[in-house]
């Protein structure tokens, strides 16, 4: 028998484990799925490769957080020219534990595109509103109850001065009461470990952490999961799990990786999409940053969906990483980080990528091909963002282009090439999706309109993989609403 703690966490599992429903992956898709199924009285086992680490286990956006909660310490890349750095959470709660908490609903025109091109059923804006509203209430989506961070205000002020649309984006945060209305409000990100995971455990869901599922096989009416339970970094034990129904919620990279390793390949891992992002570090004369600044909340949507601008995490470790493109000015971060912040220009993009297994390697090969138009759009985004930052009072800009001069005045924007150089430009993204799109179009889709994998019984996907295309906004709101919709469909309650 496996040992189980009072809060339904399994330690030292003894094979075989059996359950009615297994959910692999505890990010937003998996956490909501496990929660709703458990609350409906189903026997649910939630499986997570990483550890259960509360938000308070480390300072947010710190080096320790990178080591504890990110896959490979945050060093993951989609190969191509140029390559694109991306990040994945690897802990209970997945990406919700490490992301910025900014929230958007899926734009209605995107939903219409998915219905038209992928034949997704029951996915109009009206269909999703009840799910958006329920998720927003569960994770306390709200705007700041006080003054935004100074770096965020710089972005907003520069946009307003240029006559561009700038919005405060709500976040899933619970804020403390404050008496000093001039101070930036303090609060707690309402991640999955703060919301849906406790609900799932209270409803009887069992949680198995530090367990990597390597292979799934259908045996009669059951799914057999084979994996490893990690006692520590060096020791592991084989584990087998038998489930009647299986939900795979490992994210847009790990879900297709597991399916393809298991021989399930139809439209799996062929349509990876993302929001390619170019960054620039802005240095001001005055203080705009502090160690407790957190996440800036403004985004500039004047040119959306083609281009979106925002302010990124700007803690000293992130500034130091960003300055690797300009190593001769590295000391500026040490001496003047409080006057510096990181800003980004994000495109929806027209490129596509793939996820493929490599025999003998744990991690998959991820590739992404930017189009020439993508590189033009990124250049336009970098130029417009830089124009905005100079308008906001920046004195020096450091674009994420290696061996490229820093910019010190608006005339320097002419140095930015019309098409960003493939060999020098360093891109990143925090949004990956669409590797197993949903819908009834069998030529394009891996799963049906509600996440059931085409051609298989009792096998479902519920994560960012299902999004048919890049939505042009932070995707977690879309992931949560669709996960809730699909779980209720499975329960016959939609």
> What DSSP letter does each residue of 370-437 carry, written as one string?
--HHHHHHHHHHHHHHHHHHHHTT-SEEEESBTT---B-SGGGGGGS-SS--TTTB-EEES-EE-SS-
Task: Decide if 12 is catalytic.
Answer: no
Q: What's the gap between Cα 487 and its chain centre? A: 20
Q: Is 130 helix (H, G, I), strand (E, B) or coil?
A: helix
- Residues comprising the chain, all counted: 494
Q: Where are the alpha helices (DSSP H) in 70-118?
A: 108-118
| Cβ proximity of 242 and 222 under 8 Å | yes
Give CA–CA dist 450/118, Å, rounded: 13
| Cβ proximity of 92 and 196 under 8 Å | no
Cα torsion at 60, 62, 67, 73 (round to 10°)? Answer: 100
Tell which residue, 304, 274, 248, has the closest CA to residue 435: 274
Strand partners, 453: 447
Q: What's the gap between Cα 54 and its chain centre? A: 18
Q: Tokens 């019984």: give the residue.
A: 457
Question: Could you say which of 275, 326, 431, 454 is catalytic?
Answer: 431
Residues 311, 131, 110, 368, CA torsion sign: positive
Pairing of the two strands 459-461 and 236-248? parallel
| Cβ proximity of 158 and 388 under 8 Å | yes
As a whole number of Å, the CA-based R_g of the chain is 22
Q: Which residues are catalytic?
A: 431
């Amino acid at each position: 028998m496996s040992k189980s703690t009072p809060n339904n966490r399994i330690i030292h599992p003894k094979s075989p484990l059996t359950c009615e429903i297994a959910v692999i992956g505890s990010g937003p898709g998996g956490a909501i799925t496990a929660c709703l199924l458990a609350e409906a009285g189903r026997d649910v086992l939630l499986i997570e490769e990483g550890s259960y680490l509360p938000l308070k286990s480390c300072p947010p956006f710190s080096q320790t957080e990178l080591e504890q909660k990110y896959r490979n310490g945050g060093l993951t890349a989609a190969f191509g020219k140029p390559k694109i750095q991306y990040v994945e959470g690897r802990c209970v709660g997945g990406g919700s534990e490490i992301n910025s908490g900014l929230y958007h609903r899926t734009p209605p025109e995107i939903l219409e595109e998915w219905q038209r091109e992928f034949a997704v059923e029951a996915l109009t804006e009206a269909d999703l509103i009840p799910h958006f509203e329920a998720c927003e209430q569960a994770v306390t989506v709200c705007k700041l109850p006080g003054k935004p961070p100074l770096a965020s205000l710089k972005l907003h002020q520069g946009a307003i001065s240029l006559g561009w649309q700038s919005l405060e984006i709500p976040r899933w945060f619970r804020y403390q009461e404050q008496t000093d209305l001039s101070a930036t409000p303090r609060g707690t990100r309402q991640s999955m470990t703060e919301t849906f995971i406790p609900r799932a455990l209270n409803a009887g869901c069992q949680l198995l952490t530090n367990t990597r599922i390597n292979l799934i096989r259908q045996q009669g009416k059951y799914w057999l999961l084979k994996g490893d339970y990690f006692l520590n970094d060096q020791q592991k034990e084989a584990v087998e799990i038998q489930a009647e129904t299986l939900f795979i919620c490992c994210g847009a990279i790990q879900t297709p990786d597991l399916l393809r390793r298991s021989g399930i390949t139809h439209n799996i891992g062929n349509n990876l999409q993302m929001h390619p992002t170019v960054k620039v570090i802005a240095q001001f004369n005055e203080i705009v940053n502090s160690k407790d600044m957190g996440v800036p909340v403004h985004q500039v949507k004047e040119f959306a969906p083609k281009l979106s601008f925002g302010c990124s995490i700007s803690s000293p470790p992130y500034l130091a990483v960003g300055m690797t493109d300009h190593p001769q000015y590295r000391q500026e971060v040490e001496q003047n980080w409080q006057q510096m912040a990181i800003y980004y220009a994000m495109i929806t993009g027209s490129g596509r990528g793939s996820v493929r297994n490599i025999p003998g390697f744990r991690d998959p090969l991820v590739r992404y091909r930017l189009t020439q138009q993508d590189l033009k759009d990124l250049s336009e985004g970098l130029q417009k963002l830089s124009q905005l930052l100079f308008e906001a009072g920046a004195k020096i800009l450091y674009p994420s282009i290696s061996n490229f001069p820093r910019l010190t005045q608006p005339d320097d924007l002419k140095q930015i090439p019309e098409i960003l150089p493939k060999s020098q430009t360093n891109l990143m993204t925090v949004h990956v999706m669409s590797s197993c799109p949903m819908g009834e179009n069998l030529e394009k889709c891996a799963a049906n309109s509600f996440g059931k994998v085409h051609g298989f019984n009792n096998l479902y996907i519920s994560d960012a993989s299902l999004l048919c295309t890049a939505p042009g906004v932070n995707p977690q709101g879309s992931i949560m609403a669709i996960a809730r919709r699909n779980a209720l469909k499975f329960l016959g309650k939609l």
